[in-house]
């Protein structure tokens, strides 16, 4: 879910090879405008993409609607190569909410992260995305595929 390319542009500026997946036509047009040999763009729903465990790094900001982001995290993890790393911007509730789904996601994340719990989450400053029109408190989840 590459969206408006806010994460894609800085990666391309650092000469990273980026694979971006986006379903919305207007956003695809913006992504395709970035062009170049270092950016592969796939049109489609990220959750429907077959897992391809070849990526050394995944940087993502999945949709926050409800707990929809949980499906994106689990799907993205299946794209990591061994020792690959995932960094995801998530609502702060990912770290602290006590619903069954939140607890299960954190337990899963700890397990796939090799039992490492501390340091999985890092708080972002309040209103980090106010400029983009959202005031949701956010965290970064960091995972590494250990196998």
- pTM, two decimal places: 0.91
- The single residue listed with the structure tokens 């949980």 is 70
Per-residue model confidence (pLDDT) at position 136: 87
Give the model's confidence band at 133: pLDDT under 50 very low, under 70 low, under 90 confident, else very high: confident
Spatial separation of the C-alpha atoms in residues 143 and 140, rounded to whole Å: 10
Residue 117 DSSP label = -
Taking CB atoms within 8 Å and a gap of at least 24, the contacts of 130-136 are 132/6, 136/64, 136/91, 136/92
Name every residue whose Cβ is closer than 8 Å to that of residue 102 and which is 6 or more positions away in sequence. Answer: 67, 93, 94
Contacts (Cβ under 8 Å, ≥6 apart) of 39: 8, 12, 17, 18, 19, 20, 31
pLDDT for res 18: 94
DSSP-based three-state secondary structure for 53: coil
Q: Over the stretch 16-74, which tens digit does the pLDDT of each residue have?
A: 999 999 999 889 888 888 867 899 999 999 999 999 999 999 999 998 888 999 999 99
How buried is 51 (Cβ within 10 angstroms: 0-12 exposed, 13-18 middle, 19+ buried)? exposed
- Which one-letter DSSP state was computed for residue 2? -
Say if residues 136 and 91 touch (Cβ distance below 8 Å).
yes
For residue range 80-125, what is the model confidence (pLDDT) as tens digits? 999 999 999 999 999 999 999 999 999 999 999 888 777 899 999 8
Q: Both tokens of residue 1?
A: 């879910």
């Amino acid at each position: 879910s590459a969206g408006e390319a806010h994460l894609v542009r800085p990666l391309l500026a650092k000469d990273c090879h980026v694979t971006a997946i986006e379903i919305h036509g207007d956003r695809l047009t913006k992504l395709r405008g970035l062009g170049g040999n270092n950016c592969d763009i796939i049109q489609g729903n990220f959750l429907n993409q077959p897992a391809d465990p070849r990526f050394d790094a995944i940087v993502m900001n999945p949709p926050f609607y409800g707990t929809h982001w949980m499906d994106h995290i689990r799907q993205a993890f299946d794209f990591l190569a061994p020792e690959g790393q995932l960094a995801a911007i998530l609502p702060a509730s990912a770290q602290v909410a006590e619903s069954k789904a939140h607890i299960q996601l954190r337990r899963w994340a700890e397990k796939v992260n090799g039992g490492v719990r501390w340091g999985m989450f890092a708080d972002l400053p309040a209103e980090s995305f106010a400029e983009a029109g959202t005031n949701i408190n956010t965290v970064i989840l960091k995972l590494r595929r250990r196998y």
